[in-house]
Structure 1
Amino acid sequence: MELSKALEDELSGDFLRAMLLWTPHPAERDAWLANEALILKDNSGHRHYLLVPLVSAYRYEGAEVDMTLVNPEATILHEKISEKAYNHEEIIRILTTRSKAQLNATLQHYNDQFGHPINKDLKKNPKDEYLRLLRASIKCLTCSEKYFEKALRLSMKGLGTTEETLTRVIVTRAEVDMKKIMEQYQLKNGVSLAQDIKGDTSGDYLATLLSLIDHHA
């Protein structure tokens, strides 16, 4: 609290927000961001059924895959999505408890068996906010660098910059998977992430963002 107060007394704007996000322990920071999101947006209804287990369920993080689960769980996902039971407990269970490696194997089998990726089946109602949340969760869980590359790209697209998104992604992923995100950004956009940040920000805020990504370059 004393450090936060000192920062607030000395800094302002986007630079202040970046520093306030960077200084806490990652777990404390994630809890603060989650609480902020819950305050700003109504997360009742179907969204609640997905978001709560996403942040609270135990998830094995190893590389081992149980191949005996791949076919039955891909089939369950397809059946429930075909029934439009998007918030079915089995969908929630699979997405919120399976490891990244297990989910990738299951969703690859889904693609192979049913002829298209799962997110295509979840786009049948593009304006449905819960389906958007499902698609984003799947993308983030299985290929986080693509999810965060898109978030960064959209934050700097067109006139103006969405500094809140830019700050949040750079700060929270700096010590997680920033190298992969930067590689994906270069591949997708033909320019480096650093180059686009330099074109859209300035001053101490720019220097802070660059310092967080420079050691991955």
Structure 2
Amino acid sequence: MATLVAPEDFSPGEDALAINRACQGWGTDEKAIISILGHRNAAQRKQIRLAYQEIYLEDLTKQLKSELSGDFERAICHWILDPVERDAVLANEALKKARPDYRVILETAYMKSPEELLAVKRTYQFLYKRSLEEDVASHTTGDMRRLLIAVVSVYRYEGEEIDEGVAHSEANILGDEIQGELSRSLRGDPTDEFSAALRAAIRCIRNPKKYLQKLLCNVINNMGTDEDTLSRVIITRAEKDLKEMKELYLERNGRSLEDAVSSETTGDYKAFLLTLLGNQEF
């Protein structure tokens, strides 16, 4: 279940006006922005962006980028994007990193239906004038390139009667590859990205919620929080299954995800993430 609870009745025009007021003067009213955008679903956020453009002849994302900064700015600007556009932007950002983040590409491929993945790829092409496959190929090499191109290129049938069998079949194929001669030699190095990517792909297919919960544990509990990954997981799952992931996190770690986020983040960024986690104080 989702952690986000959006009001049934709202006025996109009034929200646009309130956000604009929050951006006026000497200091931005971040709390006002969180109180509005942190409680609106994807359809409502789209209406707010359209209303803002119509009233002020300015893109809301650009306005927020100019007013906010740091992890909070990146998180909220990702949040207000249409989900398909957001997935395309996240994939592009992941590929442009000094060390491309293969996890984002795997999540894009395996946590979407075939139709959703196709929509992301079309949006990627529209935004960047290149295909997702082309950018994967230009930013990766060797076995990692072959793996990632394969997962974003394949069309997976998801008929109701055989969906589970197809998922386990894909996982078993990857499992066989991990157990093959090449992967056996790679397992000697726990830092090897290709074998880690294969294991992540299997987890994505077999149990996406468990994969994401483990990802949260890793990015919060390791030395130094990985804010980009923390934001990505919370933002992309708040309207889907973040409630179940919170329960898994509590069961696994003995403390709530809210407590973990509170201890590892600060300021408006913390307030925004806690809002998406279902905290009603903001």
TM-score of the superposition, structure 2-length normalised? 0.55
Q: Which amino acid is 2:73 matched to?
A: L
Does 2:60 correspond to 1:3? yes
1:73 deviates by: 7.7
| Alignment size in residue pairs | 182
Distance 2:264 2:165 in 1: 49
1:66 deviates by: 7.6
Does 2:206 correspond to 1:154? no
Distance 1:144 1:13 in 2: 29
Does 2:142 correspond to 1:45? yes
Q: 1:22 to 1:6 in 2, by over 3 A?
A: same
Unaligned runs of 5+ in 1: 87-119
Conserved? CA contact 1:178–1:213, under 8 Å: yes
* Offset from partner CA, 1:61-89 (integer Å, 9 cap, x none): 45423899899988866765554266xxx
- In the other structure, the counterpart of 1:207 is 271
Q: Which amino acid is 1:193 matched to?
A: L
SS at match of 1:148: helix
- Bigger relative contact order (CA 8 A; separation at least 6): 2
Match of 1:140 among 183, 196, 204: 204
1:202 deviates by: 2.5
1:187 deviates by: 0.9
- In the other structure, the counterpart of 2:86 is 29
1:136 deviates by: 0.5
* Offset from partner CA, 1:88-142 (integer Å, 9 cap, x none): xxxxxxxxxxxxxxxxxxxxxxxxxxxxxxxx99846534321110101111121
Distance 2:242 2:185 in 1: 30
Does 2:57 correspond to 1:57? no
Conserved? CA contact 2:170–2:205, under 8 Å: no
SS at match of 1:214: coil
Q: Which amino acid is 1:198 matched to?
A: S
Distance 1:77 1:157 in 2: 28
Q: Which amino acid is 2:157 matched to?
A: Y
- In the other structure, the counterpart of 1:164 is 228
Unaligned runs of 5+ in 2: 1-57, 101-138
1:48 deviates by: 1.6
Distance 1:75 1:155 in 2: 27
Distance 2:203 2:185 in 1: 14
Distance 1:54 1:22 in 2: 25
Distance 1:70 1:140 in 2: 10
Q: Which amino acid is 1:126 matched to?
A: P
Across the aligned residues of Structure 1 and Structure 2, the Cα RMSD in angstroms comes to 3.3
Q: Which amino acid is 2:69 matched to?
A: S
- In the other structure, the counterpart of 1:181 is 245
* Offset from partner CA, 1:143-191 (integer Å, 9 cap, x none): 1122211221222225542212211111112123212211110110011
Distance 1:144 1:152 in 2: 12
Conserved? CA contact 1:122–1:135, under 8 Å: no
TM-score of the superposition, structure 1-length normalised? 0.70
Q: 1:15 to 1:58 in 2, by over 3 A?
A: same
Q: Which amino acid is 1:129 matched to?
A: E
